[in-house]
Amino acid sequence: MTIQWFPGHMAKARREVQEKLKLVDFVIELVDARAPGSSQNPMLHQILQNKPRMVVLMKKDLADPVITQQWLSYWNSANIPALAVDVQQRQDIQQVITAAKELGNEKLEKLKKKGVRPRASRAMIIGIPNVGKSTLINRLANKKIAKTGDRPGITTNQQWIKVKKDFELLDTPGILWPKFEEEIIGYRLASIGTIRDQILSLEDIAAFVVRYLQQNYPDILASRYQIPSKMTDMMEIFETIGKLRGCLESGGKVNIDKTAEVVIRDLRSARLGQVSLEIPSE
Protein backbone atom coordinates (compact mmCIF):
# COMPACT_ATOMS: atom_id res chain seq x y z
CA MET A 1 0.00 0.00 0.00
CA THR A 2 1.29 3.48 -0.90
CA ILE A 3 0.37 6.14 1.65
CA GLN A 4 -0.14 9.39 -0.24
CA TRP A 5 -0.80 12.95 0.91
CA PHE A 6 0.67 16.35 0.05
CA PRO A 7 -1.10 19.50 1.30
CA GLY A 8 -0.73 22.58 -0.88
CA HIS A 9 1.22 24.57 1.71
CA MET A 10 3.93 21.90 1.68
CA ALA A 11 4.42 22.27 -2.08
CA LYS A 12 4.83 26.01 -1.52
CA ALA A 13 7.27 25.44 1.35
CA ARG A 14 9.37 23.15 -0.83
CA ARG A 15 9.71 25.89 -3.47
CA GLU A 16 10.66 28.43 -0.82
CA VAL A 17 13.34 26.13 0.62
CA GLN A 18 14.80 25.68 -2.84
CA GLU A 19 14.85 29.43 -3.45
CA LYS A 20 16.41 30.33 -0.07
CA LEU A 21 19.06 27.61 -0.11
CA LYS A 22 21.52 29.87 -1.93
CA LEU A 23 21.38 32.32 1.01
CA VAL A 24 22.79 29.86 3.57
CA ASP A 25 26.19 28.29 4.18
CA PHE A 26 24.98 24.99 5.58
CA VAL A 27 21.88 23.06 6.63
CA ILE A 28 20.82 21.67 10.01
CA GLU A 29 18.59 18.67 9.35
CA LEU A 30 16.40 17.51 12.23
CA VAL A 31 15.16 13.93 12.48
CA ASP A 32 13.23 12.09 15.18
CA ALA A 33 15.57 9.90 17.24
CA ARG A 34 12.89 7.19 17.43
CA ALA A 35 12.83 6.79 13.63
CA PRO A 36 15.83 8.68 12.21
CA GLY A 37 15.88 7.12 8.76
CA SER A 38 12.13 7.28 8.19
CA SER A 39 11.97 10.90 9.38
CA GLN A 40 14.48 12.06 6.77
CA ASN A 41 12.86 13.69 3.76
CA PRO A 42 14.36 12.26 0.52
CA MET A 43 12.77 15.10 -1.45
CA LEU A 44 14.74 17.65 0.57
CA HIS A 45 17.95 15.75 -0.06
CA GLN A 46 17.39 16.22 -3.79
CA ILE A 47 17.04 19.96 -3.21
CA LEU A 48 20.08 20.23 -0.91
CA GLN A 49 22.47 18.63 -3.39
CA ASN A 50 26.03 19.29 -2.14
CA LYS A 51 25.19 21.84 0.55
CA PRO A 52 27.08 21.01 3.81
CA ARG A 53 24.77 19.65 6.51
CA MET A 54 24.64 18.27 9.99
CA VAL A 55 22.02 15.89 11.40
CA VAL A 56 20.40 16.44 14.78
CA LEU A 57 18.47 13.53 16.31
CA MET A 58 15.68 15.19 18.29
CA LYS A 59 13.80 13.74 21.29
CA LYS A 60 16.66 11.47 22.29
CA ASP A 61 15.05 11.12 25.73
CA LEU A 62 12.20 9.15 24.09
CA ALA A 63 14.43 6.84 22.04
CA ASP A 64 16.42 3.72 22.88
CA PRO A 65 19.92 5.11 23.71
CA VAL A 66 21.72 2.03 22.37
CA ILE A 67 20.06 2.36 18.97
CA THR A 68 20.52 6.14 18.98
CA GLN A 69 24.27 5.57 19.29
CA GLN A 70 24.12 3.24 16.28
CA TRP A 71 22.53 6.03 14.24
CA LEU A 72 25.15 8.58 15.32
CA SER A 73 27.89 6.18 14.27
CA TYR A 74 26.11 5.59 10.97
CA TRP A 75 26.15 9.28 10.00
CA ASN A 76 29.54 10.12 11.48
CA SER A 77 31.11 7.24 9.54
CA ALA A 78 29.71 8.90 6.39
CA ASN A 79 31.47 12.18 7.39
CA ILE A 80 28.16 13.85 8.24
CA PRO A 81 28.27 15.51 11.68
CA ALA A 82 25.49 14.06 13.85
CA LEU A 83 24.41 14.49 17.45
CA ALA A 84 21.43 13.54 19.60
CA VAL A 85 19.53 16.17 21.57
CA ASP A 86 17.15 16.54 24.47
CA VAL A 87 16.08 20.19 24.21
CA GLN A 88 15.66 20.39 27.98
CA GLN A 89 19.37 19.74 28.47
CA ARG A 90 21.48 22.90 28.24
CA GLN A 91 24.64 20.98 27.34
CA ASP A 92 22.85 19.42 24.34
CA ILE A 93 21.86 22.86 23.06
CA GLN A 94 25.46 24.04 23.43
CA GLN A 95 26.64 21.02 21.46
CA VAL A 96 24.37 22.04 18.58
CA ILE A 97 25.78 25.59 18.66
CA THR A 98 29.38 24.34 18.75
CA ALA A 99 28.87 21.88 15.90
CA ALA A 100 27.06 24.51 13.81
CA LYS A 101 29.87 27.03 14.37
CA GLU A 102 32.46 24.50 13.20
CA LEU A 103 30.45 23.69 10.07
CA GLY A 104 29.85 27.37 9.31
CA ASN A 105 33.48 28.34 9.83
CA GLU A 106 34.53 26.14 6.92
CA LYS A 107 32.48 28.27 4.53
CA LEU A 108 33.55 31.55 6.15
CA GLU A 109 37.22 30.63 5.79
CA LYS A 110 36.70 30.10 2.07
CA LEU A 111 34.99 33.48 1.78
CA LYS A 112 37.79 35.12 3.76
CA LYS A 113 40.37 33.77 1.33
CA LYS A 114 38.35 35.33 -1.49
CA GLY A 115 38.48 38.69 0.24
CA VAL A 116 34.85 38.71 1.42
CA ARG A 117 34.25 40.67 4.65
CA PRO A 118 33.63 38.52 7.77
CA ARG A 119 29.97 37.95 8.70
CA ALA A 120 27.92 35.58 10.81
CA SER A 121 27.47 32.17 9.22
CA ARG A 122 23.99 31.36 7.96
CA ALA A 123 22.15 28.09 8.37
CA MET A 124 18.83 26.70 7.26
CA ILE A 125 17.01 24.41 9.68
CA ILE A 126 14.86 21.77 8.01
CA GLY A 127 12.87 18.73 9.03
CA ILE A 128 9.53 17.01 8.74
CA PRO A 129 6.52 18.24 10.78
CA ASN A 130 6.43 17.77 14.56
CA VAL A 131 10.11 16.88 14.80
CA GLY A 132 10.71 19.67 17.30
CA LYS A 133 12.12 22.45 15.11
CA SER A 134 10.33 25.32 16.81
CA THR A 135 11.28 24.12 20.29
CA LEU A 136 14.94 23.79 19.30
CA ILE A 137 14.97 27.24 17.70
CA ASN A 138 13.57 28.82 20.84
CA ARG A 139 16.25 27.10 22.92
CA LEU A 140 19.04 28.12 20.54
CA ALA A 141 17.88 31.74 20.54
CA ASN A 142 17.19 31.55 24.31
CA LYS A 143 13.80 33.19 23.85
CA LYS A 144 10.40 32.35 22.40
CA ILE A 145 10.50 33.13 18.71
CA ALA A 146 8.93 30.17 16.94
CA LYS A 147 5.49 28.76 17.70
CA THR A 148 5.48 25.33 19.29
CA GLY A 149 2.89 22.58 19.66
CA ASP A 150 2.37 18.83 19.79
CA ARG A 151 0.77 18.55 16.38
CA PRO A 152 2.26 18.63 12.86
CA GLY A 153 2.30 21.81 10.83
CA ILE A 154 2.70 24.59 13.42
CA THR A 155 5.32 26.55 11.44
CA THR A 156 3.84 27.87 8.19
CA ASN A 157 6.35 30.50 7.04
CA GLN A 158 10.07 31.24 7.05
CA GLN A 159 11.96 33.60 9.33
CA TRP A 160 15.57 34.50 10.22
CA ILE A 161 16.64 34.02 13.84
CA LYS A 162 19.92 35.17 15.41
CA VAL A 163 21.69 32.64 17.64
CA LYS A 164 23.86 34.82 19.91
CA LYS A 165 26.71 36.10 17.71
CA ASP A 166 27.43 32.66 16.38
CA PHE A 167 25.18 32.29 13.37
CA GLU A 168 21.88 33.24 11.79
CA LEU A 169 19.22 30.60 11.37
CA LEU A 170 16.54 30.40 8.70
CA ASP A 171 13.51 28.52 9.99
CA THR A 172 11.35 26.65 7.48
CA PRO A 173 7.99 24.86 7.71
CA GLY A 174 8.05 21.11 8.20
CA ILE A 175 7.82 19.38 4.84
CA LEU A 176 6.72 15.84 4.06
CA TRP A 177 7.20 14.18 0.70
CA PRO A 178 4.21 13.38 -1.57
CA LYS A 179 3.86 9.70 -0.70
CA PHE A 180 5.46 6.91 1.29
CA GLU A 181 6.40 4.15 -1.13
CA GLU A 182 7.16 1.81 1.77
CA GLU A 183 4.16 1.26 4.00
CA ILE A 184 6.30 0.76 7.10
CA ILE A 185 7.69 4.32 6.83
CA GLY A 186 4.16 5.69 7.02
CA TYR A 187 3.40 3.57 10.07
CA ARG A 188 6.59 4.59 11.87
CA LEU A 189 5.84 8.27 11.30
CA ALA A 190 2.19 7.87 12.26
CA SER A 191 3.22 6.08 15.46
CA ILE A 192 5.36 9.00 16.64
CA GLY A 193 2.82 11.63 15.57
CA THR A 194 4.57 13.08 12.53
CA ILE A 195 1.60 12.74 10.21
CA ARG A 196 -1.93 13.59 11.26
CA ASP A 197 -3.83 10.76 12.91
CA GLN A 198 -6.57 10.99 10.27
CA ILE A 199 -4.24 9.67 7.53
CA LEU A 200 -4.21 6.10 8.90
CA SER A 201 -6.64 4.37 11.24
CA LEU A 202 -5.67 4.46 14.91
CA GLU A 203 -6.34 0.74 15.17
CA ASP A 204 -3.86 -0.02 12.38
CA ILE A 205 -1.23 2.28 13.91
CA ALA A 206 -1.66 0.69 17.35
CA ALA A 207 -1.48 -2.80 15.83
CA PHE A 208 1.81 -1.83 14.16
CA VAL A 209 3.17 -0.60 17.51
CA VAL A 210 2.12 -3.79 19.30
CA ARG A 211 3.67 -6.05 16.65
CA TYR A 212 6.91 -4.07 16.76
CA LEU A 213 7.04 -4.28 20.54
CA GLN A 214 6.40 -8.02 20.40
CA GLN A 215 9.41 -8.47 18.13
CA ASN A 216 11.79 -5.99 19.75
CA TYR A 217 10.61 -5.07 23.25
CA PRO A 218 8.49 -8.00 24.52
CA ASP A 219 9.22 -7.17 28.15
CA ILE A 220 7.47 -3.81 27.74
CA LEU A 221 4.24 -5.49 26.64
CA ALA A 222 4.42 -7.88 29.55
CA SER A 223 5.10 -5.24 32.20
CA ARG A 224 2.86 -2.43 30.87
CA TYR A 225 -0.12 -4.39 29.51
CA GLN A 226 0.34 -7.91 30.91
CA ILE A 227 0.55 -9.34 27.38
CA PRO A 228 2.40 -12.70 27.37
CA SER A 229 4.70 -13.47 24.43
CA LYS A 230 2.51 -16.39 23.34
CA MET A 231 -0.53 -14.10 22.75
CA THR A 232 -0.59 -13.28 19.02
CA ASP A 233 -4.26 -12.59 18.16
CA MET A 234 -4.51 -8.81 17.82
CA MET A 235 -8.13 -8.58 18.90
CA GLU A 236 -7.34 -10.60 22.03
CA ILE A 237 -4.39 -8.27 22.70
CA PHE A 238 -6.58 -5.16 22.27
CA GLU A 239 -9.23 -6.59 24.58
CA THR A 240 -6.63 -7.42 27.24
CA ILE A 241 -5.19 -3.89 27.08
CA GLY A 242 -8.65 -2.30 26.97
CA LYS A 243 -9.85 -4.14 30.08
CA LEU A 244 -6.63 -3.35 31.93
CA ARG A 245 -6.76 0.36 31.06
CA GLY A 246 -10.52 0.81 31.48
CA CYS A 247 -11.40 1.40 27.83
CA LEU A 248 -14.90 0.00 28.30
CA GLU A 249 -18.34 0.78 26.94
CA SER A 250 -21.64 0.06 28.66
CA GLY A 251 -22.02 -3.66 29.23
CA GLY A 252 -18.28 -4.09 29.72
CA LYS A 253 -17.42 -4.27 26.01
CA VAL A 254 -13.93 -3.02 25.13
CA ASN A 255 -13.81 0.13 22.98
CA ILE A 256 -11.13 -0.73 20.42
CA ASP A 257 -10.63 2.88 19.24
CA LYS A 258 -9.99 4.08 22.81
CA THR A 259 -7.64 1.17 23.37
CA ALA A 260 -5.70 2.07 20.22
CA GLU A 261 -5.45 5.67 21.45
CA VAL A 262 -4.01 4.45 24.76
CA VAL A 263 -1.29 2.40 23.04
CA ILE A 264 -0.31 5.26 20.72
CA ARG A 265 -0.36 7.83 23.52
CA ASP A 266 1.76 5.58 25.74
CA LEU A 267 4.37 5.24 22.99
CA ARG A 268 4.52 8.98 22.20
CA SER A 269 4.78 10.00 25.85
CA ALA A 270 7.46 7.38 26.67
CA ARG A 271 5.18 5.65 29.19
CA LEU A 272 6.37 2.49 27.46
CA GLY A 273 9.97 3.51 28.11
CA GLN A 274 12.61 4.52 25.57
CA VAL A 275 11.65 2.85 22.30
CA SER A 276 13.21 3.18 18.84
CA LEU A 277 11.27 2.01 15.79
CA GLU A 278 14.14 1.30 13.39
CA ILE A 279 17.87 0.59 13.23
CA PRO A 280 20.39 1.79 10.60
CA SER A 281 20.61 -1.60 8.87
CA GLU A 282 16.92 -1.34 7.99
pLDDT tens figures, 153-163: 444 455 678 88
C-alpha 259/C-alpha 263 separation (Å) is 6
- φ, ψ of residue 121 in degrees (nearest 5): -70, 155
pLDDT tens figures, 137-150: 889 888 766 554 44
Looking at mean pLDDT, say which of 12-21, 51-60, 113-122 comes out highest: 51-60
C-alpha 178/C-alpha 239 separation (Å) is 36
- Asked if residue 203 has pLDDT above 50, the reply is yes
The answer to whether residues 140 and 96 touch, using CB atoms and an 8 Å cutoff, is yes
- Asked if residue 18 has pLDDT above 70, the reply is yes
The reported pTM is: 0.85
Q: What is the pLDDT of residue 166?
A: 75
Q: Comparing 269 with 115, which gets the higher pLDDT? A: 269
Q: Comparing 98 with 145, which gets the higher pLDDT? A: 98
- Whole-number mean pLDDT of the chain? 85
Question: In this structure, are strands 159-163 and 167-171 parallel, antiparallel, or unpaired?
Answer: antiparallel
Q: Which domains are assigned to the chain?
A: 3-179 (3.40.50.300), 201-268 (1.10.1580.10)
C-alpha 67/C-alpha 282 separation (Å) is 12
